[in-house]
Homo-oligomer: A and B are copies of this chain.
């Protein structure tokens, strides 16, 4: 098993020094979240992840999940024990409302916890992740009766959750879905249909599984307007709220996937299963969308996790593996060769990964703080601003962090040379596991369309204009600070590219919406690159002010990474701007049959 350091120090630096934890613990209800408590919790979480979760990672990949002849699904060796410890320690309830048995801490801490767990084992992290997603949707939309039945069990981790959206013929285009719901006399529904790609669909970790299922009530309108959301438990809760009768929910098969083998991705069959409406009739999509920001932020974090795990893995190898000599003369003259870390191109790969990781972590912490502020701030205007910001940034987070996270896992694998291609080394797993995050919870092309087609224009462009204003003011404020010039000038150039591209859409996409589609993915990455640059500028700002000699090396490293990012990643913004501004013509020129 490779070593893994959970980056608690990095997180605390962000919370305390870059963004300020007082932004959270001055919110009503979050007063307990002091520096000391947060640090104690994260330290404990880090320990839990390296000791309990990390050992599940490789075995999850090699063993995978099993569907037995009797219909039971079992997880790989050790998952059940790790899950028991997870439940025992109460991690599931960290940020859950105390009303349902949780600790009621800021959601930001859960996002951080999910990062740590996912870095240790992505497949394992999906079991709590899906449960949190299902919990969130029910918490907002379900009746009190349903909430009281299910949420305490889910907050404890005794019951886990799933999201049943996709059918074989419809993924992105949910309007096409066919799963049927027929009303019973008692107010429940009979659900019939087949769903595919259901993460954590069935397994042996929990005593019951709470399926949220999108289905079409008999006679409902066609398309997305006729979709409703139902809660369909694997076992019907009995009068003591324990799992009772089986509910005609079965597993058709476990999908053979490229990665995340430790998570049971199932075809789920509902055969007249009993379900109850969550939210309004035909309001299923609305109910799902409420939890999308949170779920998509969760997947964004997954991009970071695999890049972080791949970085540490490759870094350790680069320090140990002796191969070749430094271009500037031997650095390990008494050894047979120098360690890989002397080679500039090895450093380029590692610094590309790490300069992303640290900024991506900052971006995730920043975004999750916006979520807490949007929910809890006493001032409605502040809540709205935070909600605008999170809503705007969500597709950027999801698309940019998962695409780059995957690229970085590929870089990490490359550091190992031929050994990287051998499964035993473990580098391949990071690549294969990271790949899913670009696809699920809305493929990244869909994120990009959501960004340019919906988020940019929402409320008359209020969100993007506020961000440009903030970026402009930040650059102006620090432009005269000589120590910050190497970070501020590239950020300024990147932000200008983003503004130009945004204006270009404004001037052209209404006339021809294909122009928006044609540049959407480049725009999403341009946006992400600028946001990570903004994170680096803020981290550099703290670093340049440091007076504490004992922390000099910590901050020198920050400045070196910030400079690397500005020199090597920021120059991509101009290229993306140019690509966006050529528009759709060359894309749409060919008739379909010429492809």
Complex Cα distance, B344 from A453, in Å, reads: 13
What is the 8 Å Cβ interface bit string for chain A, positions 209-237, against chain B (1 contact, 0 not)?
A: 00000000000000000000000000000
- Greatest chain B CB density within 10 A among A259, A406, A595 is at A595
A68 to chain B, nearest CB (A): 21
Query: Are the C-beta atoms of A517 and B345 separated by less than 8 Å?
Result: yes
With a CB–CB cut-off of 8 A, which chain B residues contact A197? 418, 422
The verdict on A345 contacting B553 (CB below 8 Å), with A418-B171, A444-B414, A586-B563 known, is no
Q: Is the CB of B319 within 8 A of A595?
A: yes
Residue A268, interface by CB 8 Å: no
Q: Is A153 in the interface zone, CB < 8 Å from B?
A: no
Whether B328 contacts A514 by the Cβ 8 Å rule is yes
Residues of B within 8 A of A173 (CB): 322-324, 337
Q: How far is the CA of A560 from the CA of B582 in the complex (A)?
A: 14
If A345-B520, A575-B575, A586-B567 touch, whether A422 touches B323 (CB-CB below 8 Å) is: no
A327 to B592, CA, bound (A): 15
| Partner-binding segment picked from A51-59, A70-78, A359-367, A435-443 | A435-443
Residue A336 at the chain B interface, CB threshold 8 Å: yes
Known: A337-B173, A572-B575, A588-B347. A514 touches B327 (CB 8 A): yes
Q: Which residues of B contact A322 (CB under 8 A)?
A: 169, 173, 176
- Cross-chain contact of A171 among B257, B343, B417 (Cβ < 8 A): B417
- A348 in contact with B518 given A564-B587, A567-B579 (CB within 8 Å): yes
User: Which segment, of A29-37, A274-282, A424-432, faces chain B?
Assistant: A424-432
Interface string of A339-357 (1 = CB under 8 A from B): 1011111111111001000
Please indicate the chain B residues that have their CB under 8 angstroms from the CB of A354 in the complex: 595
CB of A290 closer than 8 Å to a CB of B: no
Task: Tell me the bound Cα distance from A574 to B444 in angstroms.
Answer: 26
Residues of B within 8 A of A571 (CB): 575, 578-579
Q: Is A513 an interface residue (CB 8 A)?
A: yes
Tell me the complex Cα distance, A197–B418, Å: 7
Which B residues are in CB contact (< 8 Å) with A44?
A: none
Interchain CA distance A291-B99 in the complex, whole Å: 72
Q: Is the interface of A mostly helix, strand, loop or mixed?
A: helix
Q: Which residues of B contact A336 (CB under 8 A)?
A: 176
Interface contact A324-B172, CB-CB below 8 Å = yes
Whether B432 lies near A258 (C-beta < 8 A) is yes
Q: Is A594 an interface residue when CB atoms closer than 8 A count as contact? A: yes
Question: A513–B564 contact, CB under 8 A?
Answer: no
CB distance from A309 to the nearest CB of B (A): 15
Complex Cα spacing A438 to B342, Å: 21
- Chain B residue nearest in CB terms to A339: B592
Within 438-462 of A, Cβ neighbours of B (below 8 Å) are at 438-440, 443-445, 448-449, 453
A448 and chain B: residue at smallest CB distance: B345
Decide yes or no: A518 and B345 within 8 Å by CB, A318-B595, A590-B557 being known contacts. yes
Smallest CB separation, A426 vs chain B (Å): 11
Is A255 located at the chain interface by the 8 A CB criterion?
A: yes
- The answer to the question of A16 belonging to the interface, with a C-beta cut-off of 8 Å to chain B, is no
**Shortest distance between the CB of A586 and any CB in chain B (Å):** 5
If the complex has contacts A579-B571, A587-B347, are A516 and B563 also in contact, measured as CB distance less than 8 A?
no
Chain B residues in 8 Å Cβ range of A424 = 256
Contact B445 A418 (CB under 8 A): no
In the assembled complex, the Cα of A343 lies from the Cα of B436 at a distance in Å of 22
Within the complex, the shortest CB–CB distance from A98 to chain B, in Å, comes to 37
For A234-265 the 0/1 string (1 means CB < 8 A from B) is 00000000000000000000011111000000
Q: Which residues of chain B have C-beta atoms less than 8 A from A341's C-beta?
A: 592, 595
Selected A-B contacts with CB under 8 Å, 17 pairs: A171-B417, A257-B422, A257-B423, A258-B428, A258-B432, A315-B595, A327-B513, A345-B517, A349-B445, A417-B439, A421-B435, A421-B436, A421-B439, A428-B435, A563-B589, A564-B586, A567-B579
Closest 9 CB pairs of A and B: A344-B517, A327-B513, A258-B428, A344-B518, A345-B445, A567-B582, A173-B323, A256-B423, A560-B589
A interface residues, Cβ below 8 angstroms from B: 166, 169-173, 175-176, 196-197, 255-259, 315, 318-319, 322-324, 327-328, 336-337, 339, 341-351, 354, 406, 410, 413-414, 417-424, 428, 431-432, 435-436, 438-440, 443-445, 448-449, 453, 512-514, 516-518, 520-521, 553, 556-557, 560, 563-564, 567-568, 571-572, 574-575, 578-579, 582, 584, 586-590, 592, 594-595
